[in-house]
Structure 1
């Protein structure tokens, strides 16, 4: 379940951060603010203000061509959304609905991820299989 929550949170975070640099910014801000209002109304205004700060950072990152900074912001919001879903699993269908209705293109895109570095050491007759994403292994 934790993996599914992280995946859903990543999809939403990617859509929200990407939307911050577009005309869809207000919708993204409102949608995320509503999620927090439902479970933590006392923190919703703070979260909405932080979304505004994130938007400023996204705009600067895009202006400077700093994709890494934007990916870090996606990671930050993914973690926040994942924690929200872990603590309030009843919000999963609501976030899913928001993605489907507000950001349908997010389903077609892969969530953004940062760089992955994999390192392995093998000895003897070891076999190492590493993947940064999907992998299919067949014996032949």
Structure 2
């Protein structure tokens, strides 16, 4: 088992009962949406189910349920890494609890082609996404 996959799974599910759960869940779903888009909805519903299992587990079964959920997501993350090694850096940041995205809105797809021509002292501002101009 890749230590990054194991660490991400542990960090992800340690966030379940905290304020960071929604950010963690959204970050994992966004990563899947970028990497394996056809699985993103399933991953999201499975994360919701995993959360529900952890929260509603009877006290005498909580440890076992936690271990099983953790093992399932370690395996899923390991399979993602095997198929898409390019996500290892992003997963490493997840393992450190850095759920914020630095890769833009995960719903954006496609490509952008732009061209512009400037004359005199005009200014041209182009962006394929958000554009913030100050000053």
Q: Is the 8 A contact 2:25 2:47 kept in 1?
A: yes
Measure how far apart 1:7 and its partner are: 1.1
Q: What's the TM-score once normalised by structure 1's chain length?
A: 0.65
Q: Is the 8 A contact 1:21 1:58 kept in 2?
A: no
Q: Which runs of 4+ in 1 moved over 6 A?
A: none
More helix by share: 1
Mapped pair 1:76 → 2:52: no
* Structure 1 unpaired stretches of 5+: 104-140
Change (3 A) 1:91 1:52: same
Match in the other structure for 1:108? none
Match of 2:24 among 28, 44, 63: 28
* Structure 2 unpaired stretches of 5+: 100-135
Q: Aligned-pair RMSD on alpha carbons? A: 1.6
The whole-number CA distance in structure 2 between the counterparts of 1:102 and 1:94 is 9
Measure how far apart 1:101 and its partner are: 4.8
Measure how far apart 1:70 and its partner are: 0.4
Structure number with bigger Rg = 2
Count of paired positions: 98
